Amino acid sequence: MGRNNSRNIQAKLVLLGDMGTGKTSLVLRYIKGQFHDFQESTIGAAFFTQVVPLETMAVKFDIWDTAGQERYHSLAPMYYRGAAAAVVIYDITSTDSFARAKQWVEEVRRQGTPNLVMFIVGNKADLEAKRKVGTEDAEQYARENEMGFLEASAKTAQNVNELFYEIAKRVATANPRRNKGVELRARPEQRGMRFCCS
Ligand code: GTP
Ligand code: MG
């Protein structure tokens, strides 16, 4: 978390979840208002920034969209380390992806930042006919694990703005007056490869 002036905070946000759950699609929907039926699988990770204006301040998110393919798993700590917020995505049509999401939650709880704002998000809510993960099951899991929960659709944009807005509000509340704290951010020349304290 950094603070460029009294009204803005900079926060690292990481998206985690099984491959194909729609992490990249959610970010592209949010930032560019786009959706692609054939979104390419992410290699390594992708980086985006977005400013979320709140009533009296703004949160600037540095968003790391990680690759869900298992061979990239070992890279994940670089992205969730120092993160102010983690969004764990599953696909409501896949029970495997929900099980994987729970593993991500446990890993981030073990190794991530204390006081991290965490959300679990059931994406592809437009595919109601193919649903395999019940809303109530996920809701209960989120409640027991003290994290936020939403169902969303990158395709229809359902709950996409709401998700990032809600996270920004919670990040702002969780970090009310922290001056400098520890700010972990990527060196531009080695983006995604190494983090360093500034
Ligand atoms: P990795 O980068 O491999 O980890 O995958 P990802 O989680 O980034 O998934 P991605 O955004 O690439 O989406 C995977 C596929 O699901 C793509 O073909 C998308 O078009 C599709 N998809 C993503 N979100 C939705 C959604 O909300 N509804 C529907 N119907 N399809 C979606
Ligand atoms: Mg992706």
Domain boundaries, the chain: 5-197
Q: Please tell me the total number of residues recorded for the chain in this structure.
A: 198
For ligand 1, atom 29, which residue shows the shortest CA distance? Answer: 124
Span 102-126, mean pLDDT?
95
Span 136-160, mean pLDDT?
98
Question: Which-ligand-closest: CA of 20?
Answer: 1
pLDDT of residue 181: 43
Q: Is the CB of 153 under 6 A from ligand 1?
A: yes
- Is pLDDT of 178 > 60? no
Whether the predicted model's global pTM rises above the 0.85 cut: yes
Residue 45: its H or E element: strand 45-53
Q: Is the CB of 155 under 6 A from ligand 1?
A: yes
Burial category of 166 from C-beta neighbours within 10 Å (exposed 0-12, middle 13-18, buried 19 and up): middle
Question: Thinking of the domain 5-197, which architecture would CATH place it in?
Answer: 3-Layer(aba) Sandwich (3.40)
Please report the atom of ligand 1 found closest to the CA of residue 153.
Answer: 27
Tell me how far apart the alpha carbons of residues 67 and 159 are, in angstroms, rounded to a whole number.
22
In terms of DSSP H, where are the helices of 7-153? 23-32, 76-80, 95-111, 135-144
pLDDT of residue 180: 42
- Is pLDDT of 193 > 80? no
- pLDDT above 90 covers a percentage of the chain that reads 80
